[in-house]
């Protein structure tokens, strides 16, 4: 998320430019497409961010994208005596201030968010993204009360999802959604820290100012709100129950498997427990042949024919 200065007393424009209407159309279409086709919202939004930025560049009328009317119309604008237009609490996350700003947020949207979204569902991910982004903006504006600024960027929303990821799967190692040779999986805490460090480094080497307060607010929101968000019903799915783990105890033959099983037992959300069970099964071995196990149709199986309902 990046703040851009505006003149004090600037009024919100009622008549938006054609490029701004086109950008809103992109956002609406992307959202409708993602939920109608049950596509990953984070990936679709990554494409939408690129499309909106292309409209920013095309409408800027010069080399400086900050001159684009899209940024002024759809960014979250605050100034003394001015309150932002209602739609900008959503649209500001799709508007960006530079190519570096776009690429950095695409890392979070395309490489990391899809894996988390697949576990919790698109509706819950979208709630974290939009509510976390708005909360981050409020935190920034509370710290800079009275400032004249336009907030743009998806960073706070992305970091809200990361904060929830860390809360729900604290020991999870993240594998990038797009396979990159030589890049190992990393604990989610390290990924979030690395994301913040990368933004700081880029800001020191040419990127524009970064709204750190909004980022911290986004992470805090995601971490605090994760359990409540996970209790939101998802379309077409019944409320899940915690899976029993009694049938796994004798398979915990190593300290690592025992630790994973303890984490599964402590999990109070069905999705979290299922994730730990999947991790346990990936590391467990068949008690008959010592081979790997597979989890299918509500039970465990091995190639030697050993089976057990779970």
Bridge partner residues of 2 (DSSP): 152
Burial of 76-86, coded b for 16+ CB within 10 Å and e otherwise, reads bbbbeeeebbe
> Can you tell me the mean pLDDT for 238-248?
72
Q: 149, 165, 176: which is closest to 1 by C-alpha? A: 149
Res 52: pLDDT: 96
pLDDT for 205 equals 62
The answer to whether residue 129 scores a pLDDT higher than 80 is: yes
Q: What's the rounded mean pLDDT across residues 61-73?
A: 85
Long-range contacts of 13-22 (CB under 8 A, 24+ apart): 13/72, 13/73, 16/69, 16/73, 17/59, 17/69, 17/70, 17/73, 19/55, 19/56, 19/58, 19/59, 19/68, 19/69, 19/70, 20/69, 20/70, 20/73, 20/74, 22/55
pTM: 0.73
- CATH fold for domain 2-230: Rhomboid-like fold (1.20.1540)
Structural domain spans, the chain: 2-230, 246-309
Distance CA 119, CA 267 (A): 15
pLDDT at position 24 is: 95
Average pLDDT over residues 204-232: 81
- What does the pLDDT look like over 71-123, one tens digit per residue? 989 999 888 877 888 999 999 999 998 888 899 899 889 888 988 898 888 99
pLDDT above 60 for 14: no
pLDDT greater at residue 206 or residue 81: 81
């Amino acid at each position: 998320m990046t703040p851009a200065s505006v003149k004090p007393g600037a009024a919100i424009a009622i008549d938006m430019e054609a490029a701004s209407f086109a950008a809103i159309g992109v956002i609406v279409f992307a959202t409708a497409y993602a939920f109608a086709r049950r596509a990953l919202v984070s990936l679709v939004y990554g494409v939408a961010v690129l499309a909106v930025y292309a409209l920013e560049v095309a409408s800027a009328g010069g080399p400086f994208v900050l001159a684009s009317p899209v940024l002024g119309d759809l960014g979250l604008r605050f100034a003394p005596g001015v309150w932002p237009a209602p739609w900008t609490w959503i649209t500001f996350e799709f508007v960006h201030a530079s190519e570096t700003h776009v690429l950095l947020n695409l890392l979070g949207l395309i490489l990391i968010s899809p894996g988390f979204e697949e576990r919790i569902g698109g509706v819950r991910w979208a709630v974290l993204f939009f509510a976390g982004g708005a909360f981050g903006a409020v935190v920034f504006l509370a710290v800079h009360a009275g400032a004249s600024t336009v907030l743009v960027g998806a960073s706070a929303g992305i970091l809200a999802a990361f904060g929830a990821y860390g809360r729900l799967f604290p020991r999870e190692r993240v594998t990038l959604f797009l396979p990159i040779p030589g890049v190992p999986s990393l604990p989610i805490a390290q990924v979030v820290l690395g994301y913040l460090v990368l933004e700081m480094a880029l800001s020191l080497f040419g990127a524009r100012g970064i709204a750190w307060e909004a980022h911290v607010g986004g992470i805090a929101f995601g971490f605090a709100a994760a359990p409540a968000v996970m209790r939101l019903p998802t379309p077409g799915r019944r409320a899940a129950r915690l899976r029993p783990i009694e049938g796994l105890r004798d398979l915990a033959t190593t300290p690592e498997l025992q630790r994973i099983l303890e984490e599964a037992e402590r999990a109070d959300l069905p999705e979290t427990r299922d994730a730990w069970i999947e991790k346990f099964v990936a590391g467990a071995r068949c008690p008959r042949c010592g081979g790997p196990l597979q989890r299918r149709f509500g039970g465990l199986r091995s190639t030697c024919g050993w089976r057990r309902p779970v």
